[in-house]
């Protein structure tokens, strides 16, 4: 019950209407209680009792045909029947008879603030000695003119009387207004529930479509602002899911390709060794070297994939030690100096002053070694690779790696940090239009799998930094790494 949006909105509107009606009714009761309407309701009741009693007296021939005891007994009977209090006053206003017997000989004129002689008709409100309000009506009884008596009917305006008067006078129109409001609230609830429920149902259908494998399903953006926001968030999530699945498919395809190539080489050369096709010592050595190199290539690929998996799972633990960049960059340059010499490329280092950052020394060395290795691999003979570090801002150290290579096309520049993405087009299979940057490696040097820049980006961001690439085709490329300065330096 009340599980659907329609039923909940309908129930909430009905409850609101009922609560509003109850508050309005309570407000009217409080208003009537403090207004003359309450006294008027009590007076009306007293007048009805007075008329009935006077008719009884007329039927009995008034008090001339009745003894004093019979007359007072008749008054007591009338008071009990009509639930009122009957007083009999003399011409001075003193109470001579009281059906309750409590106010005998009291001065009613003082209580009601009246002065004798009394008019033929009395009506008003008075307070007794305890402060309680009483409504009363009175009538002068016919007599000989010398000893006139006044018959007074009194009653306190009780809450029950108020409720009876309210039920007979105000409740019917209030109930009619409530019925109209209830019908209108039902119609309004249906309209609102449809305007909200229909877009939500469309979002639900889109979600069910994605669950069935319809990755392209999207929710139309319509309805109230909150529902439109939900639809936009859902579509954003669906785009991310589609991108993740596409990335997963590409990942499987790329890993399969990267593993297939070395496995094919290992299988071919090992088969040659088993079949005796590699009979000469030189052929055996070459086969063993290729098998060794391809095995190392597979190991590096697995290590890089494990590193990325740790970053994705948040399990990569990095040291947080003060690291001086000058000596670290010097060691990276020295490590890659033989590669630069073999490529006939100049490798230059420029460090402006003593620069320190906080981080993992080995991982930072991996970052700059990857960038230098990448630049040297794409710098032609006679070219130059420069790595420079300086304080860019008060709390930021900037390290740039610049080469004079062929450059990166503009359409590929924004994707070079994606996993397995390579700018070189010389690979043996198509990547769905993806260009690849690296040329075929020279003999004795294995080509990377396109994970180096992705790992570099993960490491830099894990240190609270950022990495960016700039390139002009035909002039070269520049990679910029920005890292926060060591806290001890600030």
Residue 439 falls within a domain, yes or no? yes
Q: Does the residue 30 lie in any domain? A: no
pLDDT in tens, 138-174: 888 876 555 678 889 998 866 655 666 666 667 788 7
Identify which of 341, 348, 349, 438 has the alpha carbon closest to the alpha carbon of residue 382: 341
Mean pLDDT of the chain: 81
Between CA 42 and CA 78 the distance in angstroms is 17
Do both 363 and 257 map to the same domain?
A: no
Q: Are residues 235 and 341 in the same domain?
A: no
- Domain of 158? 35-169
Q: What CATH number does the domain containing 48 carry?
A: 3.30.450.20
pLDDT tens by residue, 61-104: 654 567 788 888 888 888 888 888 999 888 888 888 998 888 88
340 plus 300 within the same structural domain: no
Per the domain annotation, does 417 fall within a domain?
Answer: yes
Beta strand 121-127 pairing with 133-140: antiparallel
Same domain, 392 and 480: yes
Check whether 176 has a pLDDT greater than 70: yes
Check whether residue 331 and residue 458 sit in a common domain.
Answer: yes
Sign of CA pseudo-dihedral 478, 483, 488, 490:
positive
Distance (Å, whole) CA 353 – CA 334: 19
* Domain match, 330 and 310 both: no
- Asked whether residue 349 falls in the same domain as residue 470, the answer is yes
pLDDT score at 477: 93
Task: Give residue-wise pLDDT tens across range 402-426.
Answer: 999 888 888 888 888 887 777 754 3
Q: Are 396 and 403 in contact (CB under 8 A)?
A: no
- Is 23 inside a domain boundary? no
Q: What is the mean pLDDT of residues 57-63?
A: 64
């Amino acid at each position: 019950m009340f599980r659907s949006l329609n039923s909940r909105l309908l129930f909430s509107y009905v409850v609101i209407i009922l609560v509003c009606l109850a508050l309005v009714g309570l407000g009217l009761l409080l208003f009537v209680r403090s207004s003359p309407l309450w006294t008027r309701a009590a007076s009306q009741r007293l007048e009805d009792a007075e008329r009935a009693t006077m008719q009884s007296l007329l039927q009995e021939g008034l008090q001339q045909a009745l003894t004093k005891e019979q007359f007072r007994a008749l008054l007591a009977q009338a008071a009990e029947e009509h639930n009122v209090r009957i007083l009999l006053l003399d011409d001075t206003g003193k109470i001579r008879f009281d059906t309750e017997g409590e106010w005998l000989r009291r001065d009613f004129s003082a209580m009601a603030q009246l002065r004798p002689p009394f008019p033929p008709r009395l009506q008003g409100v008075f307070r007794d000695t305890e402060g309680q309000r009483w409504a009363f009506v009175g009538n002068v009884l016919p007599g000989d003119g010398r000893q006139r008596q006044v018959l007074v009917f009194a009653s306190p305006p009780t809450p029950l009387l108020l409720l009876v008067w309210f039920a007979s006078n105000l409740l019917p129109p209030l109930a009619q207004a409530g019925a109209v409001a209830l019908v209108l609230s039902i119609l309004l609830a249906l309209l609102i529930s449809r305007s909200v429920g229909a877009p939500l149902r469309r979002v639900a259908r889109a979600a069910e479509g994605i669950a069935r494998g319809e990755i392209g399903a999207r929710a139309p953006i319509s309805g109230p602002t909150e529902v439109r926001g939900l639809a936009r968030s859902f579509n954003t999530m669906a785009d991310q899911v589609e991108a993740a699945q596409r990335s997963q498919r590409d990942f499987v395809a790329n890993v399969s390709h990267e593993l297939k190539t070395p496995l094919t080489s290992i299988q071919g050369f090992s088969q040659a060794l088993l079949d005796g096709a590699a009979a000469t010592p030189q052929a055996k050595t070459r086969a063993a070297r290729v098998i060794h190199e391809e095995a190392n290539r597979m190991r590096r690929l697995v290590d890089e994939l494990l590193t990325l998996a740790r970053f994705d799972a948040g399990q990569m633990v990095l040291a947080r030690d003060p690291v001086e960049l000058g000596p670290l960059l010097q060691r990276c340059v020295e490590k890659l100096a033989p590669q630069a010499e073999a490529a006939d490329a100049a490798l230059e280092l420029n460090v402006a002053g003593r620069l320190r950052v906080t981080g993992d020394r080995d991982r930072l060395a991996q970052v700059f070694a990857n960038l230098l290795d990448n630049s040297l691999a794409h710098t032609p003979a006679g070219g130059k690779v420069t790595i420079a570090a300086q304080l860019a801002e008060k709390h930021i150290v900037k390290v740039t790696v610049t080469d004079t290579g062929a450059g990166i096309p503009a359409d590929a520049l924004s994707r070079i940090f994606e996993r397995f993405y390579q700018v070189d087009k010389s690979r043996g299979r198509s990547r769905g239009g993806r260009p690849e940057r690296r040329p075929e490696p020279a003999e004795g040097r294995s080509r990377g799998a396109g994970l180096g820049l992705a790992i570099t980006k993960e490491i830099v961001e894990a240190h609270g930094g950022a990495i960016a690439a700039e390139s002009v085709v035909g002039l070269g490329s520049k990679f910029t790494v920005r890292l926060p300065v060591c806290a001890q330096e600030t």
